[in-house]
Amino acid sequence: MSNNLPLLCPKCNNSHHFYRYGKDKLGNQKYQCRQCKHQFAPSHLPLKRKRKYPPCPKCGKCSFLHHDYQNYSNFRCSDKQCNHSFFSAKADCSLPASVENLFGKSDLRRMRFPVQVIVSVLTLYFMSKNSCRCISLLLSRLFNICLSHVTVAAWCSKFAPIFRNLTLSFLPLMNFNSDEWHADETVVKIKGQKYYIWLIVDSETRFCLGFHLTKSREESSAMSLFKSVNGLGSANALVSDRLPSYNVPVKICFPNSLHIKVKDFKDDISNNLIESFNKTFKSWYNTKQGFNSFESANNLICVFIFFYNFLRPHSSLNNLTPAQVAGLNYNPKPHNIFSHKAYMIRGI
């Protein structure tokens, strides 16, 4: 049966001779071209073919699965001239960084002591090597403030969400585009068991961008750290040691950055910058004789990094804090932390 409707064959561009050829699965009328015998349904749009694997980031062509691992997949471009190999992380390859799992108070309401006393206690604890009993004794002898060492220990841990919220509010106002970011891990003990702190530091500002506390040194731990800092800025190179766990996470999270592996202390580019941070952290940590639980260790490390980034002056930065070097305009005195006039930030 001929058809007089204004149809057009998508294969041979015939517009005159067609047969009605039943209906498709969706109930649309099908036609068959008399010339090329092609069957089509004009009212049904052709579905785009979905790619099973991601396209090549270099040339945009199709790719195929080269190797499949537990936490990531290795793909290779199907074009033999390109032959580019790239990695893609799986959805469940890593958990959020431990800095995102804090517990405690998010404000200073219903506190028995004034804010100045709380800030003084936190400053003595995180910017010096004083123990909780020593701080309690100092407050009693110098200011006639009766404060138990148990309360001092509770204050140092329970206010971590406040400092984390302050950090998150200031991060968009700072610039971390740098030549190098340095990554490393160091050991701490929690109830006598070894745990690892994964750290990443900006070379120009000395700002500690993030940390992740975990029990393993696998690729998933490095992936959690890099994903937590991936949107803060960009670095031309990422410097680390020769631990194999860094190789694939760097390629996935920082595809445009050069991965520099430090082999010897005599190399032109070393990892001494983050080793200096580890030395500062260990000098504070060694006086604590380890941590009692994972949650308290995670909170204490978070607050220590806040004091390091925003309140501790650095002699190598002309006695400025890393946050000031990164472009944040504020008053870095500890007693102004919780004041509305403490951070005189432009635009707020």
Q: What is the pLDDT of residues 221-271, one digit of tens each?
A: 999 999 999 889 889 999 999 999 999 999 998 988 999 998 876 677 788
Kindly tell me if the per-residue pLDDT of 22 is higher than 80. yes
Local structure of residue 167 (DSSP, 8 states): H
Instruction: Over range 325-334, report the average pLDDT.
Output: 85
Q: Count the neighbouring beta carbons within 10 Å of the beta carbon of residue 41.
A: 18
What does the pLDDT read at residue 47? 58
Local structure of residue 112 (DSSP, 8 states): S
Burial 90-113 (b: 16+ CB within 10 A, else e): eeebbeebbbeebebeeeeeeeee
The encoded tokens of residue 193 equal 């068991």
Instruction: Over range 103-116, report the average pLDDT.
Output: 86
Mean pLDDT of the chain: 86
What's the whole-model pTM score?
0.79
- Distance from C-alpha of 262 to C-alpha of 96, rounded to nearest angstrom: 27
Q: Where are the domains of the chain?
A: 1-47, 51-93, 97-348
Torsion angle, alpha carbons of 322, 323, 327, 329, to 10: -130
Work out whether strand 235-240 and strand 178-190 pair parallel, antiparallel, or are unpaired.
parallel
Q: What is the pLDDT confidence band of residue 348, given thresholds at 50, 70 and 90?
A: very low
Residue 305's contacts (CB-CB under 8 Å, 6 or more residues apart) are 208, 211
Angle (nearest 5°) at CA 243 between 98 and 64? 85
- Distance from C-alpha of 231 to C-alpha of 210, rounded to nearest angstrom: 12
CA distances from 312 to 177, 207, 293, 303 (A): 22, 11, 26, 12
What does the pLDDT read at residue 96? 85
- Distance from C-alpha of 335 to C-alpha of 316, rounded to nearest angstrom: 24
The encoded tokens of residue 84 equal 């580019």
What does the pLDDT read at residue 115? 86
What does the pLDDT read at residue 347? 33
- Distance from C-alpha of 219 to C-alpha of 244, rounded to nearest angstrom: 8
Strands (E), the chain: 18-23, 29-33, 39-40, 63-68, 72-77, 85-89, 178-190, 193-202, 208-214, 235-240, 258-261
Kindly tell me if the per-residue pLDDT of 70 is higher than 90. no
What does the pLDDT read at residue 1? 42
**DSSP structure string for 270-298:** -SHHHHHHHHHHHHHHGGGTSBS-HHHHH
Angle between helices 115-126 and 149-158 (to 10 degrees): 90
What does the pLDDT read at residue 329? 87
Instruction: Tell me which fold the domain 97-348 belongs to.
Output: Nucleotidyltransferase; domain 5 (3.30.420)
Kindly tell me if the per-residue pLDDT of 44 is higher than 70. no
Instruction: Over range 315-339, report the average pLDDT.
Output: 84
Least trusted range by pLDDT, from 67-81, 197-211, 260-274? 260-274
- Distance from C-alpha of 71 to C-alpha of 244, rounded to nearest angstrom: 14
Least trusted range by pLDDT, from 9-13, 89-93, 116-120, 205-209? 89-93
CA distances from 187 to 121, 171, 201, 283 (A): 26, 27, 17, 13
Kindly tell me if the per-residue pLDDT of 181 is higher than 50. yes
Local structure of residue 172 (DSSP, 8 states): G
